[in-house]
């Protein structure tokens, strides 16, 4: 398993997001561009998150080799439930062993 830290924002219900809150253990689909996987959230600064909330999470990937090429600080991802986008996020930190790439403010991967 692999843990990264991310900042997420859950969409408001009016934006097509969820109608109820989520807690640690929430396992939505995670989409990096055209790659779909799943991950488990552990909330670091909230006990639960409601539609419209922004919060920091530990995102756990069960199969890190599958997503390794997409894991870089600054990488953006969508949070989905089936085909419905319910939120979005950005990776804040990853383990040092994987820290070979970083997306800078100019959008270029270094």
| pLDDT classification of 108: cutoffs 50, 70, 90 | very low
Contact 57, 27 (CB under 8 A): no
Could you list the residue range(s) of the whole structural domain that residue 31 is in? Answer: 2-98
| pLDDT classification of 1: cutoffs 50, 70, 90 | confident
pTM (2 d.p.): 0.85
For residue 109, being part of any structural domain is answered with no
Instruction: Evaluate if residue 81 carries a pLDDT over 70.
Output: yes
Closest CA to 49 of 6, 83, 82, 92: 6
For residue 107, being part of any structural domain is answered with no
Which residue(s) pair with 109 in the sheet?
103
| pLDDT classification of 97: cutoffs 50, 70, 90 | low
For residue 58, being part of any structural domain is answered with yes
* pLDDT value at residue 12: 97
Closest CA to 11 of 63, 3, 19: 19
pLDDT digits (tens, 9 = 90+) for 13-47: 999 999 999 999 999 999 999 999 999 999 998 89
Q: Phi and psi for 66 in degrees, rounded to 5? A: -65, -35
Q: Phi and psi for 50 in degrees, rounded to 5? A: -105, 160
pLDDT digits (tens, 9 = 90+) for 39-80: 999 999 889 999 999 999 999 998 888 898 999 999 999 999
Distances (CA, A) of 110 to 7, 73, 96, 104, 107: 21, 10, 15, 7, 9
H or E element, residue 103: none
In the chain, the number of structural domains is 1
- Tokens coding 16: 């097509």
For residue 24, being part of any structural domain is answered with yes
**CATH number for 63:** 2.40.30.10
């Amino acid at each position: 398993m692999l843990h990264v830290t991310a900042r997420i924002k859950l969409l408001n219900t009016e934006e097509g997001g969820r109608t109820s809150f989520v807690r640690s253990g929430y396992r939505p689909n995670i989409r990096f561009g055209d790659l779909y996987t799943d991950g488990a959230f552990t909330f670091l600064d909230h006990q639960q998150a409601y539609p419209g909330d922004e919060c920091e999470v530990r995102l756990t990937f069960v199969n890190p080799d599958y997503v390794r090429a997409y894991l870089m600080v600054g990488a953006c991802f969508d949070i989905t439930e089936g085909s419905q986008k319910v939120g979005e996020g950005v990776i804040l930190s990853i383990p040092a062993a994987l820290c070979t790439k970083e997306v800078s403010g100019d959008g270029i991967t270094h």
